[in-house]
Amino acid sequence: MKFNSESVCKPSKASAVLAHHRGWAFIEQGSIALIVLVVISIVLGGYFLLKSNVSVGKESSNIQSIITSTQNLLKGSDGYTFTSGAKMMGSLIQMHALPKTMTVRGTASSGNATLYNGWGGAVTLSPVTVSGFSNGFSLTYELVPQNACVQLATQLSRAGIADAITINSTAHSDGIVTTEEASAQCSADNGSTGTNKIIFTLNS
């Protein structure tokens, strides 16, 4: 008696095609996942860039608003006669003369409350002596991120809002800051926290 033997291990053509298709399916799924990740990265990058630009624009407006309020409400015929910068800022907060988007800590009505910018840095005022009298003042912004530091310093320099601008330890006594100078003087962030201090000084 003669038997026809066939290898039971030999895959059929249909099985081979199916395995081939499965391989392509895995590759296609991997490609789609990669494309999705790239798109998400682009969207998130754009979001954070937009958020950063909005923050800079908002804080630029806040700085100009604080300066205007200080000049209009705190200066008397004999200058800024305050015993401290804390009393100056406390008085502005007490009068509700500051941008509502900024953070106030403490009781506003006490005259001792403090102000903070959108990055969590202290915002302070200080009287400045000009020609022997307290005719000027300075506005200090702390914890400013590097990118915002460069933009704020150069934009407000061009706007001519201050007689002098100090970036960290470098003073620009003429109030003029170029982009090259700001880029060199604004320090890198510490993780997600800004490390820069900008001081705007006005002689009137």
Q: Name the one residue in this structure whose structure tokens are 């900024």.
A: 102
Nearest residue to 102 via CA among 64, 49, 150, 146:
64
Q: Would residue 8 count as lying in a domain? A: no
Average pLDDT over residues 56-77: 97
Question: Containing domain of residue 57, as a range?
Answer: 39-202
Give the SS3 label for residue 21: helix
Q: Answer yes or no: is 45 within a domain.
A: yes
Convert the pLDDT of each residue in 82-139 to its tens digit. 999 999 999 999 999 999 999 999 999 999 999 999 999 999 999 999 999 999 999 9
pLDDT of residue 44: 42
User: Percentage of the chain surpassing pLDDT 90?
Assistant: 73
pLDDT value of position 26: 62
Contact partners, residue 121, CB within 8 Å, separation at least 6? 141, 142, 143, 144, 194, 197
For residue 52, what pLDDT band results from cuts at 50, 70 and 90? very low
Higher pLDDT, 34 or 173: 173
At residue 14, the pLDDT reads 57
Residue 12 counted as domain residue = no
Give domain status of residue 89, yes or no: yes
Token readout for 117 is 């910018």
The answer to the question of residue 10 being in a domain is no
Q: What is the pLDDT of residue 21?
A: 60
Identify any residues that bridge with 166 across adjacent strands, giving them in sequence order: 171, 199
- Residue 50 in this model has a pLDDT that exceeds 50: no
Query: What local confidence, expressed as pLDDT, does residue 202 receive?
Result: 98
The residue with greater pLDDT, 31 or 67, is 67
Burial of 60 (0-12, 13-18, 19+ CB in 10 A): middle
* Percent of all residues in the chain with a pLDDT value above 70, rounded to a whole number: 74
At residue 10, does pLDDT exceed 60? no
The residue with greater pLDDT, 34 or 121, is 121
The CATH number given to whatever domain includes residue 143 is 3.30.1690.10
Total number of domains constituting the chain: 1
What are the distances in angstroms from CA 32 to CA 35, 45, 137, 145?
Answer: 5, 20, 58, 36
pLDDT for 46 beyond 50: no
DSSP assignments along 122-147, one per residue: EEEEEEEEETTEEEEEEEEEEEE-HH
Integer Cα distance of 93 and 104 in angstroms: 8
Residue 26 lies in a domain: no
Residue 48 pLDDT: 44
pTM: 0.75
Is residue 9 a part of any domain in this protein?
no
Residue 85 covered by a domain? yes
